[in-house]
Chain A
Amino acid sequence: MIAELPTALVLIASGLALPLTPRRVRPLLAAVAPLLAFAHLLWIGPGVRIEAQVFGFPLTLVRTDALSLAFGYVFTIAAFINAVFSWRVRQGVEPPAALVYAGAALAAIFAGDLLTLFVFWEISALASALVIWSGPGRGAYGAGMRYLAVQLGSGMLLAAGAALHYADTGSLAFGEIGAASPGGLLLLLAFGAKCAFPLLHNWLQDAYPEASATGTVVLSAFTTKLGIYALARGFPGTEALIWVGATMAAFPIFYAVIENDLRRVLAYSLNNQLGFMVVGIGLGTDLGLNGAVAHAIADILFKGLLFMSMGAVLLRAGSVKASELGGLYKSMPWTTGMCMIGAASISAFPLFSGFVTKSMIMTSAAQEGHFVVWMVLLFASAGVFHHAGIKIPFFAFFGHDSGIRCREAPPHMLLAMGLAAVLCVGIGLWPAALYSILPRPVDYAPYTSSHVLAQLQLLVFSALAFAWLMRSGIYPPELRSTNLDSDWLYRRLGVRLVDALGRAQQTLAARFAATAVAFGAAAADATRRLHGIDGVLARTWSTGAMALWVAIVLAAYLLVYFAEDTEPEFLFLLVLPFAIAGLGLWADRREDAKR
């Protein structure tokens, strides 16, 4: 009976019930619900299908297989860690919204058809926008709006793509789709917006740093990984994704180097990690696809850990701007340690999670002969160590001592970070456990002396480059700034265009009104001239003249009439007008005589 209920229901129902429970119970409920969901997933295992008939469509509300379960496990774990991390947040919209968001993302993962996927895609978009709006700053509202516009846009692409796909194939089942058909292309774009494809990416860096200290951690786990899951389900082996992914892995790191807001740096590095996953999906090999899924799981944990450490810094020091921080290791040694474990994991140090997951993708790229892509990914690997592995801990906890002395992060936050850190190291030490839940058969050994040595050389010399550039003063200083990215297109250029259009419309309307007024005045003038007091057409005519003119007209008429077929005897009628005219003239005379 319980097996036949969607797992995500636990999270969504708990989220909705959260505001109705006593405040003290709320964090407990928010933590227990993901644990129950995790246990439920373990219990039901693969091969479960829950089907329903809605509006005549056969829908698959739940489909568990290796791919959806892998994401399901890590989503519920992330939801649990988030609940622990935000143990003290008991009021407001954020806690219930975060749970519903996690639940909707989980439901979308298990959706077996495109319609169910669409519904939960949209619910997760709305709930996550609520999480952003719970942010403390004045930028949260606008960023949340822009975020929601992109997410709902992605939902519309998904709906349109699903409709075209249905018209094409007669099926709504969510399996391998391929980008060959127009419907497939729309679906690819819909998923791509969630994965933060280049030029569709900037909602991520725009909105995530605007959420609260706890909210950003929640956001970092689900939305983008839902996109990665959908891409892995629908478009494995789509070659264009290899290049899209390589671009994504490379370009955000340049921004990450010059960005001052450390949570925004992490958002850029999240974008860069997504690039690796997209390459893995594009390769579509067993190793590549497994690598994408494994790296998504690892990324949820280490990126969550890094965002948590920055959230703790934001809470205690009041800022996450590199230009204002430094020397915090003295006040927050535990948080420093946790952050460094996250940094080592994302940088793929041996014994940490990134080492055993990212390398699967790179090895697959090499095996498939994509040398340029492999070089780009290697560059991105060095770069990610540089900006996320070194820059984040260095500017927050070491570097120039800002003089900030604050308290260590609260115990529940340290506990949450500790859980994530244990998982990061655990995956690094026992990769076999992670490999066992991957969708394709795994034949990969990360710990060869060759791989370890190569990676250590890469990392140590990246660190040396950073140290040398810092000591020689070449490294660009951290400055309070805004860096223009593709959001400039709609935050500045688009706004300017709309303004200009508005002004042009106003000018045109004014011109039109002026022309109309001038035309009206001219018409009034002409009327006055013709019909006014002295107007030609307004003169008083004498009766005689009138009669004469009538006679002339009548005569002319008669002439024309008789010209057709002349009967001579009727010609005398011509006298008639002149008689009338004579009568008129006579009347005139009399009138004159009377005066």
Chain B
Amino acid sequence: MSWLDRPRNVTRIYRALWLLGALLVLADVVVHRHAEVGFDGWFAFYAGYGLVACVALVLAAKLLRRAVMRSEDYYHDR
């Protein structure tokens, strides 16, 4: 049984990642980010965009699956 096999350790990594995210958002207060397009200068813009974009991506992909998923030998069953 390796270290990663214990669910407790995976949860630790997960929480550490949230902590890292929180620190990066807080860094926005200290570091002056110069905006490339204007609105990306907003507080925590990239953090929010990354989170929302990826959740939206997965939800949209789930919908896409309904439309395009077929059996593995779809093209071979003729």
Q: Which residue of B lies closest to A359 (CB)?
A: B36
Are A464 and B74 interface neighbours, CB within 8 A? no
**Closest CB of chain B to A435's CB: distance in Å?**
19
Partner of B36 from A374, A461, A464 at Cβ < 8 Å: A374
Segment at the B interface, from A15-23, A36-44, A94-102, A469-477: A469-477
Are A453 and B27 interface neighbours, CB within 8 A? yes
**Closest CB of chain A to B44's CB: distance in Å?**
7
Q: Which residue of B lies closest to A482 (CB)?
A: B74
**Closest CB of chain A to B23's CB: distance in Å?**
9
- Inter-chain CA distance A462–B58, complex, in Å, is 11
**Closest CB of chain A to B45's CB: distance in Å?**
8
- Inter-chain CA distance A460–B22, complex, in Å, is 10
**Closest CB of chain A to B35's CB: distance in Å?**
9
Residues of B34-54 contacting chain A, CB below 8 A:
34, 36-37, 40, 44-51, 53-54
**Closest CB of chain A to B61's CB: distance in Å?**
4
Q: A469-B55, A481-B70 are in contact. Are A382 and B49 (CB under 8 A)?
A: yes
Chain B residues within 8 Å of A469, by CB: 54-55, 58
- Inter-chain CA distance A73–B55, complex, in Å, is 39
Among B18, B40, B47, B70: residue with most chain A CB under 10 A? B47
- Inter-chain CA distance A451–B57, complex, in Å, is 24
Q: Is A362 at the interface (CB under 8 A from chain B)?
A: yes
Are B75 and A463 interface neighbours, CB within 8 A? no
Are B61 and A484 interface neighbours, CB within 8 A? no
Are A382 and B50 interface neighbours, CB within 8 A? yes
Majority-rule SS of A interface residues: helix
- Inter-chain CA distance A234–B36, complex, in Å, is 29
Among B21, B25, B73, B76: residue with most chain A CB under 10 A? B21
Are B24 and A483 interface neighbours, CB within 8 A? no
Partner of A449 from B31, B37, B55, B68 at Cβ < 8 Å: B31
Q: A366-B37, A450-B33, A462-B51 are in contact. Are A483 and B57 (CB under 8 A)?
A: no
- Inter-chain CA distance A529–B78, complex, in Å, is 54
Chain A residues within 8 Å of B46, by CB: 453-455, 457-458, 461
Are A366 and B36 interface neighbours, CB within 8 A? yes
Are A462 and B54 interface neighbours, CB within 8 A? yes
- Inter-chain CA distance A463–B47, complex, in Å, is 11
Q: Is A571 at the interface (CB under 8 A from chain B)?
A: no
Partner of B34 from A383, A386, A450 at Cβ < 8 Å: A450
Chain A residues within 8 Å of B25, by CB: 457
- Inter-chain CA distance A139–B75, complex, in Å, is 10
Q: Is A466 at the interface (CB under 8 A from chain B)?
A: yes
Are A480 and B72 interface neighbours, CB within 8 A? yes
Among B32, B51, B62: residue with most chain A CB under 10 A? B51
Q: Is A456 at the interface (CB under 8 A from chain B)?
A: yes
Chain A residues within 8 Å of B70, by CB: 481-484
Chain A residues within 8 Å of B51, by CB: 461-462, 464-465
Are A371 and B24 interface neighbours, CB within 8 A? no
Among B18, B24, B45, B78: residue with most chain A CB under 10 A? B24
Are A257 and B47 interface neighbours, CB within 8 A? no
Interface CB pairs A-B, < 8 A, 13: A257-B58, A366-B37, A457-B25, A461-B21, A461-B46, A464-B18, A464-B51, A469-B55, A471-B14, A476-B62, A482-B73, A483-B65, A483-B68
19 more CB-based (< 8 A) A-B contacts, given A254-B60, A255-B64, A461-B51: A255-B61, A366-B37, A371-B37, A378-B49, A378-B53, A398-B4, A453-B28, A453-B33, A457-B21, A457-B28, A457-B46, A461-B21, A461-B47, A464-B17, A469-B58, A471-B14, A476-B65, A482-B73, A485-B68
